[in-house]
A and B are shown apart, each in its own frame.
Chain A
Amino acid sequence: MTLAILEHTGLNIQTPEHPPMGGACGDEGTLHPGETPSPVIHTENLNLWFGEAHILQNICMAIKRNRVTALIGPSGCGKSTLLRCFNRMNDLIDHTKITGEVRYDQENIYAPATDVVLLRKKIGMVFQKPNPFPKTVYENVAYGPRVHGIREKRELDRIVEKSLKDAALWEEVRDRLYQSAMGLSGGQQQRLCIARTLAVGPDVILMDEPCSALDPIATAKIENLIEGLKQRYTVVIVTHNMQQAARVSDDTGFMYLGKLVEFGPTKQIFEHPEEVLTENYITGRFG
Chain B
Amino acid sequence: MRMAISGIQTRMATPALRRIREQVIASVWFICAIFAIIAVCFILGYLLLNGYPTFLQINLWDFLFGQQWNPTGSSPEYGIFPLIIGTLLVMAGAMAIAVPLGIASAIFMSELAGPRLRTVIKPAIELLAGIPSVVYGFFGLVVLTNWIRISFDIPTGETWLAGSVLLAIMALPTIISVSEDAINAVPREYKEGSLATGATGWQTISRVIIPSALSGITAAVILGIGRAIGETMAVLMVTGNAAVIPHPIWNIVSPIRTLTATLGIETGEVPIGSLHYHALFGIAVILLLITLAINLSATIILGRIRSAQTGGAVKKQRLADETRVKIRHLLSYCLIGMVLLLVAIAAGILPCLILLIGGAAAALIWKRISPKMMQKIAYTLLFAAVGTVIVVLAILLIDIIVKGLPVLSWEFISGYPSNLGREGGIFPAIIGTIYLVVGAILIALPLGIGATIYLSEYTREGWVTKTIRTGVDLLNGTPSIVFGLFGFAFLVIFIGFGVSLLTGWIVLALMILPTIIRTSEEALKSIPHAMREGSLALGASKWQTIRKVVLPAAVPGIITGTILSIGRAAGETAPIMFTAVVFTSRFLPDSIFEPVMALPYYLYILSTSVPGAQQNAYGTALVLLITVTLFYGAAVLIRIRYQKSSRW
Residues of A within 8 A of B (CB): 3, 5-8, 10, 87, 89, 92, 94, 117-122, 124-125, 127, 129, 131-135, 143-144, 146-149, 153, 178-183, 193, 196-197, 199-200
Instruction: Find out whether the CB atom of A147 lies under 8 angstroms from the CB atom of B115.
Output: no
B407 is an interface residue with CB less than 8 A from chain A:
no
Say whether, besides A92-B192, A118-B198, A147 and B207 are in contact (CB < 8 Å). yes
Taking each of B192, B322, B371, which has the highest tally of chain A beta carbons within 10 Å of its own beta carbon? B192
The residue that A134 contacts in the complex, of B309, B322, B325, with Cβ under 8 A, is: B309
Smallest CB separation, A157 vs chain B (Å)? 10
Q: Which of B163-171, B183-191, B572-580, B632-640 contacts the other chain?
A: B183-191
Taking each of A125, A131, A196, which has the highest tally of chain B beta carbons within 10 Å of its own beta carbon? A131
Smallest CB separation, B571 vs chain A (Å)? 34
B10 is an interface residue with CB less than 8 A from chain A:
no
The residue that A3 contacts in the complex, of B114, B197, B376, with Cβ under 8 A, is: B376
Instruction: Find out whether the CB atom of B371 lies under 8 angstroms from the CB atom of A147.
Output: yes
The residue that B192 contacts in the complex, of A8, A89, A199, with Cβ under 8 A, is: A89
Instruction: Find out whether the CB atom of A147 lies under 8 angstroms from the CB atom of B197.
Output: yes
Smallest CB separation, A131 vs chain B (Å)? 3
Q: Which of B594-624 contact A (CB under 8 A)?
A: none
Instruction: Find out whether the CB atom of A183 lies under 8 angstroms from the CB atom of B311.
Output: yes
**Chain B residues whose C-beta falls within 8 Å of the C-beta of A89 in the assembled complex:** 192, 195-196
The residue that B193 contacts in the complex, of A122, A133, A146, with Cβ under 8 A, is: A133
**What is the chain B residue whose CB lies nearest that of A151?**
B367
Say whether, besides A131-B190, A131-B192, A182-B310, A147 and B113 are in contact (CB < 8 Å). no
A-B contact pairs, 10 of them (CB 8 A): A89-B196, A117-B200, A131-B192, A133-B212, A134-B212, A134-B309, A153-B321, A153-B325, A180-B311, A196-B197
Instruction: Find out whether the CB atom of B199 lies under 8 angstroms from the CB atom of A117.
Output: yes
Instruction: Find out whether the CB atom of B195 lies under 8 angstroms from the CB atom of A121.
Output: no
- What count of chain B residues pass the 8 Å CB interface test? 41
**Chain B residues whose C-beta falls within 8 Å of the C-beta of A153 in the assembled complex:** 321-322, 325
**What is the chain A residue whose CB lies nearest that of B310?**
A182
Instruction: Find out whether the CB atom of B311 lies under 8 angstroms from the CB atom of A179.
Output: yes
Q: Which of B287-323 contact A (CB under 8 A)?
A: 308-312, 314-315, 317, 321-322
9 nearest A-B residue pairs (beta carbon):
A180-B311, A121-B198, A131-B189, A183-B311, A144-B197, A125-B196, A147-B199, A120-B198, A8-B114
Say whether, besides A147-B207, A178-B321, A182-B310, A120 and B212 are in contact (CB < 8 Å). no
Instruction: Find out whether the CB atom of B197 lies under 8 angstroms from the CB atom of A181.
Output: no
Instruction: Find out whether the CB atom of B196 lies under 8 angstroms from the CB atom of A6.
Output: no
A143 CA / B208 CA spacing, docked (Å): 9
**What is the chain B residue whose CB lies nearest that of A200?**
B197
The residue that B115 contacts in the complex, of A94, A134, A146, A197, with Cβ under 8 A, is: A94
A196 CA / B382 CA spacing, docked (Å): 29
Instruction: Find out whether the CB atom of A148 lies under 8 angstroms from the CB atom of B187.
Output: no
Smallest CB separation, B205 vs chain A (Å)? 11
**Chain B residues whose C-beta falls within 8 Å of the C-beta of A117 in the assembled complex:** 198-200, 371-372
**What is the chain B residue whose CB lies nearest that of A8?**
B114
B156 is an interface residue with CB less than 8 A from chain A:
no
Residues of B within 8 A of A (CB): 112-115, 187, 189-201, 203, 207-208, 211-212, 308-312, 314-315, 317, 321-322, 325, 371-372, 376, 379-380, 382-383
A10 CA / B196 CA spacing, docked (Å): 18
A134 CA / B312 CA spacing, docked (Å): 12
Say whether, besides A131-B187, A146-B207, A178 and B115 are in contact (CB < 8 Å). no
Say whether, besides A8-B114, A147-B203, A120 and B195 are in contact (CB < 8 Å). yes
A148 CA / B195 CA spacing, docked (Å): 12
Instruction: Find out whether the CB atom of A182 lies under 8 angstroms from the CB atom of B196.
Output: no
Instruction: Find out whether the CB atom of B194 lies under 8 angstroms from the CB atom of A133.
Output: yes
The residue that A8 contacts in the complex, of B113, B208, B315, B382, with Cβ under 8 A, is: B113
A150 CA / B191 CA spacing, docked (Å): 21
Instruction: Find out whether the CB atom of A181 lies under 8 angstroms from the CB atom of B311.
Output: yes
**Chain A residues whose C-beta falls within 8 Å of the C-beta of B311 in the assembled complex:** 134, 179-183
Smallest CB separation, A41 vs chain B (Å)? 15
Smallest CB separation, A276 vs chain B (Å)? 37
A209 CA / B322 CA spacing, docked (Å): 38
**Chain B residues whose C-beta falls within 8 Å of the C-beta of A144 in the assembled complex:** 197-199
**Chain A residues whose C-beta falls within 8 Å of the C-beta of B308 in the assembled complex:** 180
A122 CA / B309 CA spacing, docked (Å): 30
Instruction: Find out whether the CB atom of B314 lies under 8 angstroms from the CB atom of A143.
Output: no
Instruction: Find out whether the CB atom of B200 lies under 8 angstroms from the CB atom of A127.
Output: no
A11 CA / B590 CA spacing, docked (Å): 62
A178 CA / B379 CA spacing, docked (Å): 32
**Chain B residues whose C-beta falls within 8 Å of the C-beta of A7 in the assembled complex:** 201
**What is the chain A residue whose CB lies nearest that of B322?**
A153
Smallest CB separation, B386 vs chain A (Å)? 10
Instruction: Find out whether the CB atom of A193 lies under 8 angstroms from the CB atom of B198.
Output: no
Instruction: Find out whether the CB atom of B309 lies under 8 angstroms from the CB atom of A182.
Output: yes
A143 CA / B194 CA spacing, docked (Å): 8
Instruction: Find out whether the CB atom of A6 lies under 8 angstroms from the CB atom of B112.
Output: yes
**Chain B residues whose C-beta falls within 8 Å of the C-beta of A133 in the assembled complex:** 190, 193-194, 208, 211-212
A92 CA / B190 CA spacing, docked (Å): 13
A183 CA / B315 CA spacing, docked (Å): 12
A120 CA / B193 CA spacing, docked (Å): 10
**Chain B residues whose C-beta falls within 8 Å of the C-beta of A127 in the assembled complex:** 189, 192-193, 196
Smallest CB separation, B169 vs chain A (Å)? 24
**Chain A residues whose C-beta falls within 8 Å of the C-beta of B115 in the assembled complex:** 10, 94
Say whether, besides A8-B114, A131-B189, A147 and B380 are in contact (CB < 8 Å). no
The residue that B317 contacts in the complex, of A5, A178, A199, with Cβ under 8 A, is: A178
A41 CA / B436 CA spacing, docked (Å): 67
**Chain A residues whose C-beta falls within 8 Å of the C-beta of B197 in the assembled complex:** 120-121, 124, 143-144, 147, 196-197, 199-200
**Chain A residues whose C-beta falls within 8 Å of the C-beta of B193 in the assembled complex:** 127, 131-133, 193, 196
A146 CA / B198 CA spacing, docked (Å): 11
Say whether, besides A7-B201, A134-B212, A153-B322, A120 and B196 are in contact (CB < 8 Å). yes
**What is the chain A residue whose CB lies nearest that of B376?**
A3
Instruction: Find out whether the CB atom of A180 lies under 8 angstroms from the CB atom of B192.
Output: no
A146 CA / B267 CA spacing, docked (Å): 58
- Taking A131-B187, A132-B193, A147-B198 as known contacts, 11 extra A-B pairs with beta carbons closer than 8 A to each other, sorted by chain A number, are A6-B112, A94-B115, A120-B195, A120-B199, A125-B196, A127-B193, A144-B197, A146-B207, A153-B325, A180-B308, A183-B314
**What is the chain A residue whose CB lies nearest that of B312?**
A183
**Chain A residues whose C-beta falls within 8 Å of the C-beta of B314 in the assembled complex:** 179, 183
A196 CA / B208 CA spacing, docked (Å): 14
Instruction: Find out whether the CB atom of A92 lies under 8 angstroms from the CB atom of B198.
Output: no
A153 CA / B326 CA spacing, docked (Å): 12
**Chain B residues whose C-beta falls within 8 Å of the C-beta of A197 in the assembled complex:** 196-197
Smallest CB separation, A142 vs chain B (Å)? 11
A144 CA / B194 CA spacing, docked (Å): 8
Smallest CB separation, A33 vs chain B (Å)? 32
A129 CA / B195 CA spacing, docked (Å): 16
A121 CA / B203 CA spacing, docked (Å): 13
**Chain B residues whose C-beta falls within 8 Å of the C-beta of A178 in the assembled complex:** 317, 321
A153 CA / B320 CA spacing, docked (Å): 13
Say whether, besides A147-B197, A181-B311, A182-B311, A6 and B379 are in contact (CB < 8 Å). yes
Smallest CB separation, B146 vs chain A (Å)? 31
A125 CA / B192 CA spacing, docked (Å): 9
The residue that B383 contacts in the complex, of A6, A148, A183, with Cβ under 8 A, is: A6
A5 CA / B382 CA spacing, docked (Å): 13
**What is the chain A residue whose CB lies nearest that of B203?**
A147
**Chain A residues whose C-beta falls within 8 Å of the C-beta of B201 in the assembled complex:** 7
Taking each of A10, A121, A135, which has the highest tally of chain B beta carbons within 10 Å of its own beta carbon? A135
**Chain A residues whose C-beta falls within 8 Å of the C-beta of B379 in the assembled complex:** 3, 6
A146 CA / B310 CA spacing, docked (Å): 23
Smallest CB separation, B92 vs chain A (Å)? 31
**What is the chain A residue whose CB lies nearest that of B202?**
A147
**What is the chain B residue whose CB lies nearest that of A124?**
B196
A200 CA / B189 CA spacing, docked (Å): 18
**Chain A residues whose C-beta falls within 8 Å of the C-beta of B309 in the assembled complex:** 134, 180, 182
